Amino acid sequence: MAVEGVSWVPRLTRVLERVQHTADTVSLKLDLSLNHQPGQFVQVSVPGVGEIPLSVASFPGDRLMITFRRVGRVTAALYGLGVGDSIGVRGPFGRGFPLEGGDVLLVAGGMGLPPIRSALGSILRERDRFGTVQLLYGARRPSLLLYREEYDAWRRGDVVVSLIVDEAEDGWRGRVGVVTELFDELEVGSDATVLVCGPEIMMKFVGRGLLKMGFDPKRIYMSMERHMKCGVGLCGHCNIGPYYVCRDGPVFDFETLRNIPESGVI
Ligand SMILES: Cc1cc2nc3c(=O)[nH]c(=O)nc-3n(C[C@H](O)[C@H](O)[C@H](O)COP(=O)(O)OP(=O)(O)OC[C@H]3O[C@@H](n4cnc5c(N)ncnc54)[C@H](O)[C@@H]3O)c2cc1C
Ligand code: FES
């Protein structure tokens, strides 16, 4: 299987598999393998409709997988695709999560799980390089938790998986609340590297809570979302303070973000 590097022009690729996660969220597995860094994104285009940024959800070197919620024009067009249909892909772009070893805490909210899944894949492949690895994941309801069929494999890979939902449904025996309430189950030390992806309001409270517990803001990495056009630092559509999210991010350390009022996470 050929593994390709960065592409500045769209490559046409076929949908190999479509997985329905929830009523409005699917994954598409594509006939293209990327050598990306977890946390990087691709620009995905539907001919005649438009182009949007989506995180790479697959593991580095594997067939590219994207997971998205149908919210508007392009995601609706992508949602309507089936096996054999074609889409365009540029990238991978941006800076991803550093994965240097030691303890790692992964924190995801809702649709923030795809890039965190990619990071988990990297960690599991080189599990010996890492210490305690823990995932805290929160969703609005149990039926909205993504990749549910994979949690057992992650646990077998010695990852502590802690889940919480805003609202219980029939059969849910787990915790109910917001993701920061899972801090009382933390098994990693405050010297852990922290990777965070989710709504800005969630990342704000995660950052605050971790600082209170003595975590280093330079080791807390958050993935930011802004509207994008070019994806490569040329059009100026995606700035946060002096930075372009597409080129300098989407992953930034919390020390940098907490000095930028419009980052939305302070
Ligand atoms: C780096 C990066 C990675 C992303 N990864 C994922 C992913 O893995 N899965 C996923 O589902 N989504 C992801 N997104 C968000 C995704 O790009 C938007 O949902 C998408 O652009 C919506 O396009 P649309 O044409 O379907 O919606 P539109 O028709 O453009 O808009 C529909 C609605 O969504 C809002 N909206 C559009 N774009 C964004 C945005 N970027 N942020 C917040 N609100 C927006 C609009 O204001 C409008 O209310 C990511 C965004 C970025 C910047
Ligand atoms: S999307 Fe054009 S500069 Fe970032």
Domains and CATH numbers, the chain: 7-93 (2.40.30.10), 102-263 (3.40.50.80)
* pLDDT digit string, tens, across residues 210-266: 999 999 999 999 999 999 999 999 999 999 999 999 999 999 999 999 999 889 898
Between the alpha carbon of residue 186 and those of residues 63, 160, 190, 209, the distances in Å are 33, 9, 10, 12
Q: Return the ligand 1 atom nearest residue 94 CA.
A: 1
Ligand 1 atom with least separation from CA of 53: 17
**Alpha-carbon span 167 to 177, nearest angstrom:** 7
Residues with CB under 6 A from ligand 2: 228-231, 233-238, 244, 246
Between the CA of 227 and the centroid of ligand 2 the distance, in Å, is: 8
Closest CA to 220 of 229, 208, 232: 208
Q: Which ligand is nearest to the CA of 246?
A: 2
Among 40, 16, 39, which residue's Cα sits nearest to residue 29?
Answer: 16
Q: From ligand 2's centre to the CA of 82, what distance in Å?
A: 30
Point out the least confidently predicted range of 7-11, 15-19, 249-253.
7-11
**Residue 181: helix, strand or coil by DSSP?**
helix
CA of 231 to the centre of ligand 2 (A): 5
Give pLDDT tens digits for 128-165: 999 999 999 999 999 999 999 999 999 999 999 999 99
Closest residue by Cα to atom 5, ligand 1, is 54
Q: Which two tokens stand for residue 35?
A: 């050598």
